Amino acid sequence: MNPELIEKVTRLVVEKLQAQETSDVNGQKSSAAVKFWRHTSSPGTQPSRMSEEVIEAGKQDTDGLIKIKSYQNSNAFKITPTDKASHDKTESYSGKTGIDNPADPVELEALKSKTPARIGVGRAGSRPKTDTWLKFRFDHAAAVDAVYGDVNDELINRLGLFKVNTMVNEKEVYIRRPDYGRKLSEEAKKIILAKCQKGPAVQIILSDGLSSSAIEENAEDVYLSLQQSLKSLGLDMGTPFYIEKGRVAVMDEVGELLKPKVVVLLIGERPGLVSAESLSAYLCYEPRKGTIEADRMVISNIHKGGIPPAEAGAYLGTVIQKVIKYEASGVSLVKKEG
């Protein structure tokens, strides 16, 4: 391609993006940069929320080659003051397909509605369309943000948690040294021992892990629902707390310190390009130094477009009950269950 054309196209894209910035609906910029996908709810309940506004900078003289969609979520639903601002972020990739003249639009839509994967996006020659490509870059950026972000103290306080650290002091180290993320700092151990009830049936821990957005968006609903569920089942749950920059196996150190029957660790998953806010609940029966991975278990994909967080919390209660009943988790639980 000739460099001048590339430059011209780039300028056009940038101009259109800027035009959009100013003409954004209500002039209000939405904060969230992550899309959700509902594959658990029945089809057809949620129309596509991907903003369809096409910015028509200048005339159609580009032959409609460059149409830039807004990737921000336009807030079409009224948010009531009590609602968390994040409640209305639901959208899917389906919506207008990128294929120009589909042979069977109904069937194509049906296929697209079955997966959040980027299918039916069309192409420009052998490349993705500009729109698809920008969206990909956007999702990638959201994933990076999720990894490098920090969880807001306000949330931690609201849930009545206290915060401790691992041996990691900064995110770069967190990424390069997973082993540090599995160990608590000396200070953390002291605080935990001082503040926590010893030997509870269930010890709940939260940690940002690989996605701070997962905690910010979804931990509260899982946590509150799990709390209720444990209470209904009559299981005592000690003193929950938050570990910054933790890895899954950090639960082993907590197990050593507090000797709970079961540890439940709500931790941010490595973000993907479909959701950067997915949360996992890792469980283990009596985790201790040297616990093998096979004895842990995980309920993953907890987010607004996956397993609904509140439902996950209610379900976790029954799983914990089972773990306690069989005195085993992971592969050992499966074996004991027979």
User: Which positions lie near another protein, rule CB under 8 A?
Assistant: 40-42, 45-46, 77-78, 80, 82-84, 87-88, 90, 104, 106-107, 110, 220-221, 224-225, 228-229, 231-232, 297-300, 304, 307-315, 317, 330-331, 334, 337
Region from 53-61, 118-126, 136-144, 265-273 binding ligand B12, contact rule CB under 6 A: 265-273
The residue assigned the tokens 């839509």 is: 109
Q: 107 or 179, CB closer to another protein?
A: 107
Contact flag: residue 178 with ligand B12 (CB under 6 A): yes
Nearest to 216 by CA among 158, 281, 135: 158
The Cα-based distances of 26 to 85, 157, 172 in angstroms read 16, 32, 38
C-beta neighbour count of 240 within 10 angstroms: 21
**Region near ligand B12 per CB under 6 A, out of 36-44, 106-114, 189-197, 246-254:** 246-254
Residues listed for the chain: 338
Q: Which of 163, 270, 288, 322 binds ligand B12 (CB under 6 A)?
A: 270
Q: How far is CA 131 from CA 21, 96, 108, in A?
A: 16, 12, 19
Q: Is 269 annotated as a binding residue?
A: yes
Residue 210 binds ligand B12 (CB under 6 A) = yes
Q: Match 């609602």 to its residue by tokens.
A: 83
Nearest CA to 199 among 108, 150, 263? Answer: 263
Q: How far is the CB of 284 from another protein (least distance, A)?
A: 12
> Does position 307 bind ligand B12 by CB under 6 A?
no
User: Which of 261, 258, 270, 283 is CA-nearest to residue 184?
Assistant: 258
Residue 325 CA to residue 319 CA, distance in Å, equals 10
Contact call for residue 304 and ligand B12 (CB under 6 A): no
For binding to ligand B12 (CB under 6 A), which residues are involved? 178, 209-210, 247-249, 267, 269-270, 278, 280, 293-294, 296-298, 300-301, 330
